[in-house]
Structure 1
Amino acid sequence: MRIRQGGVADAPVIMEMLDGAVTWLTAIGRSDQWGTKPWSANPEQVQSITDKVRTGTAWIAEIGEAPAGAMIISSVAPHHVTAADEPELYINWLVTSRPFAGQGVGAALIEHACAEARRLGVGLLRVDCYAGNDGRLVDYYRGNGFTTAETFTVRNWPGQVLFRRP
């Protein structure tokens, strides 16, 4: 696996991964997380991802020549999360391409975010995720070294903020 810095040109690849995640989540009965419609069909979501790629730092995990996962990090937490009282890196998006699920892509991207935080001299890495259903996504992040922090709700969407010291 290789992790390279991405850019705006990678936004369509990231959208394709997000669309694949929506299809998969819907198929397993977890449409509460991201809905049932492809992200690429919603101009606001396309613009949101493009803006996040433009203003943050995108990282693309590749296996062979294929994009296997993507992560967008920034130094600013989203508006729905309480600002940190110290410098941080924030994982805004983390997604694995469905054909590469279960191959450690997400964990590798998280470790890359930790390495970036250390390189920048930042001692806090945070992420938020869907906290509904059975909490499996929260458990995933806990299994990758994160500790739970605040909870929040945005438009009936339950979320969990987690942190890790790189």
Structure 2
Amino acid sequence: MDDTTRGIRIRRGGPADAPAVLNMLDSAVIWMNARGNTEQWGTTPFSEKPGGVEMVDRYLTENLPYIAELDGTPAAALVLDSGPAPQAPIAAAGEPERYVRLLVSDRRFAGRHLGSALLAHAVEETRRAGVQLLRVDCWAGGDGELVAFYERHGFTATETFLSGTWPGQVLAQRIG
């Protein structure tokens, strides 16, 4: 998919994208921490977290990863899960779904609407698969800015949950 109005090209990702996705995650942690947000993803870069590299490898091999490129440079990533329902504390949907496991952008490309382009791509991939439900969960802390981001993209808040002390929000979008 190309979003020529913004110069974004979305392609299927894979294991070779792991270094770029780790860099995106690390840049996001640094950016969030600089803004005072140490709760969402913590303070340790994913490339240094126990299990962080393995998580990215799993996401890129066991799921449906997509990479948004700008001028051939990986700038953002989205990972869709088409497998079994999310695990506790998130309730199963009770129907086929696509689930956004990860949405992250390289902070060097902030303001380019890469997340919006990838979410639109997730909607199209869900529709193409004949699935009518797309869900995501996110950090519900702080000022609720992340929940509001997903709501602006057509998602509706459904259930809240706690993972330890981490407040989460599940959001859903019906695909027609």
TM-score of the alignment, normalized to the shorter chain, above 0.5:
yes
Query: How do 1:66-145 residues align onto structure 2 when only pairs under 5 Å count?
Result: 66-75=73-82, 76-80=84-88, 81-145=90-154
Deviations 1:106-150 (A, max 9, x none): 010000000001100000000000000110000000011100011
Percent identity, aligned pairs only, is: 49
- Give the 3 Å change call, closer, same or farther, for CA 77–17 of structure 1 in structure 2: farther
In 2, Cα distance between equivalents of 1:56 and 1:161: 19
In 2, Cα distance between equivalents of 1:73 and 1:143: 19
Query: Contact conserved, 1:130 with 1:137, CA < 8 A, in 2?
Result: yes
Q: Secondary structure at the match of 2:33?
A: helix
CA-CA distance at 1:155 after TM superposition: 1.7
Is 1:48 the counterpart of 2:94 in the alignment?
Answer: no
In 2, Cα distance between equivalents of 1:24 and 1:42: 17
In 2, Cα distance between equivalents of 1:37 and 1:77: 28
| Aligned mate of 1:159, from 156, 160, 168 | 168
- In structure 2, the partner of 1:8 is 15
CA-CA distance at 1:43 after TM superposition: 3.6
* Higher helix fraction (1 or 2): 1
Post-superposition, which runs of at least 4 consecutive aligned residues in structure 1 deviate over 6 A?
Answer: none
Is 1:19 the counterpart of 2:26 in the alignment?
Answer: yes
Q: Structure 1 stretches of 5 or more lacking a match?
A: none
How much is the aligned-residue C-alpha RMSD, in angstroms? 0.9
TM-score (norm. length: structure 1): 0.97
- In structure 1, the partner of 2:71 is 64
Paired residue type of 1:67: P
Q: How many residues align?
A: 166
In 2, Cα distance between equivalents of 1:62 and 1:87: 29
